[in-house]
Structure 1
Amino acid sequence: MRRAESIYHRSVVYLLFLILLLPLAATLLYSLASSWSASVLPDGLTLKWYAALWSDARFLAAFGQSLLVCFGALTLSLVLILPLLFVVHYHFPKLDGLMNILILLPFAVPPVVSSVGLLQLYGSGPLAMVGTPWILIGAYFTIALPFMYRAITNNLQAINLRDLMDAAQLLGASTWKAAFLVVLPNLRKGLMVSLFLSFSFLFGEFVFANLLVGTRYETLQVYLNNMRNSSGHFNSALVISYFFFVLMFTWAANRLNRDRPA
């Protein structure tokens, strides 16, 4: 009976994975097809679409600009959120409920509405930043904020921050020395999870990038949208390259986050 249940459960899981992988496998096969029109299988396989993609200077520029904006937003988030979380959880723990409400406010306003407001505020005047990466970094910061706040908050609650700080201070460490040398290493997993989730979301963000900067600072998703009328094989190669990069980033994050034997 147990063996039958085990086989049933595994079959359901494998079927689910198969359903999820089929569109990706079809996209991969289409990106490798020289032509595919009136037959079940492609007429031939080729790498020319990948060669055309990775030799396109416009694609490489969009890829690099997406990375620059994402890493800039994540760096800004870390610099601002880590000290804030430490102060709230260590000195003002009662403010955590209020912070949870404030952190979720960016999700309450649709990106299209936020973009219109940002265009009005920063479209002209002394702080004219529309069309520059700076406004995109600021907008991406608001997107990453809830992911990073919740992940790091959960990690701080798991390590019992106050007891850890009190133990470090009893051994002679100052508050900031204890924070950097004791608390921060214990937040490694929370930081890695928050950074990966935020990066994966920001790297595929389209609404803010398209409305606030467009082709003036073309990111990868804007480039993909602008190339929608080109060859389907070329676009499939672009999608697979994007997926492969995120997959490799996930693998690297898991490797870095793996506990090392003592």
Structure 2
Amino acid sequence: MRAELYHRSVVAVLILLLTVPVLATLLYSLSEHWGATILPDDLSLSWYLQLWQDSAFLAAFGRSLAVCLGTLLLATLIIVPAVFVVFYRFPGLDKLMNALILIPFAVPPVVTSVGLLNIYADGPLNITGTPWILVGCYFTIALPFMYRSLANSLASINVRDLMDAAHLLGASTPVAFLRVILPNLRKGLMASLFLAFSFLLGDFVFANLLAGSHYETLQVYLYNMRQTSGHFTSAIVMSYFLFTLFLTWLTARFSK
């Protein structure tokens, strides 16, 4: 009984620590004025109306969605067949791939950005300040999420036996992959896509250093608006948080 009470208390304190800052930000974004009083003077949706009527915010949000969706489309077209080839043809390469996918997390983002700027700032392939450099950079960030999730899905099924059975039934390797293997990867693929999308949407370092105001994304827009009203920036943060919460719900739904 005491152990159960202790566990419930720990969970309650943890939930309190996580929810209080979010609720405070939400309340601040809904308040017209909040001076020396404990609670705000009055509540309204004026900051949210002002935010969602701001063309700069809508453009930045659209750019973030375009870069993230383009990155995930490219990653799906490349990583899904690559993981299948590793598990079906070269299973010994899985250990090497597990080491390689850690490189994006081993190198600090600032160091990576400086290296990319030195390569692509001059010369025939000058793509700094464009969405293309963000797509290429974000691809390396999405790689660990997608590869590990797809690898776990493939490890739970016998790929070689399924492919051999499909071949005996007359299917070619591409057809067997599309109609037998790919449906078994659907849940893992969807979960990895939503997780990677949530992570990429919140990136600031790469977006600010590689593109900046030339291609203003959501996080760069939030940084540029830091000198405005705190109520307005709180509305931006809460809008981003609610959108990410919706993606998390979708991830949990597709992971079942």
Q: Judge same fold: TM > 0.5, yes or no.
A: yes
**Where do 1:4-23 residues align within 5 Å?**
4-23=2-21
**Offset of residue 134 of structure 1:** 0.3
Partner of 1:90: 88
Structure 1 residues 47-86: Cα deviation after superposition (integer angstroms, max 9, x where no partner) = 1100110000000000000000001111111111111111
2:180 counterpart letter in structure 1: V
Conserved in 1, the CA contact under 8 Å of 2:109 and 2:206?
Answer: yes
Q: Is the 8 A contact 1:147 1:194 kept in 2?
A: yes
2:243 paired residue number: 245
Aligned to 1:158: 156
Q: Kindly state the Cα deviation for residue 18 of structure 1 after the two structures are TM-superposed.
A: 1.6
**Aligned with 1:159: secondary structure?**
coil
The answer as to 2:111 corresponding to 1:108 is no
How far is the alpha carbon of 1:8 from its aligned partner?
3.2
Deviates more, 1:172-181 or 1:234-243: 172-181
TM-score, scaled to structure 2: 0.96
Instruction: Identify the match of residue 58 of structure 1 among 56, 59, 62.
Output: 56
Equivalent residue number for residue 198 of structure 2: 200
> For residues 25 and 160 of structure 1, what CA distance do their matches in structure 2 show?
47
Q: Deviation at 1:22?
A: 0.4
Task: Describe the superposition over 1:192-227 as per-residue Cα deviations: whole angstroms up to 9, x where unpaired.
Answer: 121111111100001110001100000000000011
Map of 1:143 onto structure 2: 141
Structure 1 residue 252 displacement after superposition: 3.1
1:69-80 superposed matches below 5 A:
69-80=67-78
Give the share of equivalent positions with the same residue, in percent: 64
Residue 32 of structure 2: SS of its match in structure 1?
Answer: coil
Q: Deviations over 1:142-179 (max 9, x none)?
A: 11111111111111101221122122222222211111
AA aligned opposite 1:195: L
Contact 2:191 2:254 in 1 (8 A): no
CA RMSD of aligned residues (A): 1.3
With 48-57 and 168-177 compared, the bigger mean Cα shift is at 168-177
Distance 1:256 1:104 in 2: 25
Q: Which amino acid aligns with 1:86?
A: F
How far the C-alpha of 1:123 sits from its partner, in A, is: 0.8
SS at match of 1:41: coil
> Which residue is equivalent to 2:46?
48
Do the aligned partners of 1:63 and 1:220 also contact (CA within 8 Å) in 2?
Answer: yes
| Amino acid aligned to 2:74 | L
Letter matched to residue 145 of structure 2: F
Which whole-Å CA distance do the structure 2 matches of 1:254 and 1:100 have between them? 25
Q: Which residue number in structure 2 is paired with residue 187 of structure 1?
A: 185
1:220 correspondence with 2:218? yes
Gaps of 5+ in 1: none
Q: Secondary structure at the match of 2:33?
A: coil
Kept after mapping to 2: 8 A contact 1:50/1:234: yes
Gaps of 5+ in 2: none
| Count of residues in correspondence between the two structures | 256
Amino acid at match of 1:156: L
Q: Distance in 2 between matches of 1:95 and 1:222?
A: 38
Q: Distance in 1 between matches of 2:20 and 2:215?
A: 34
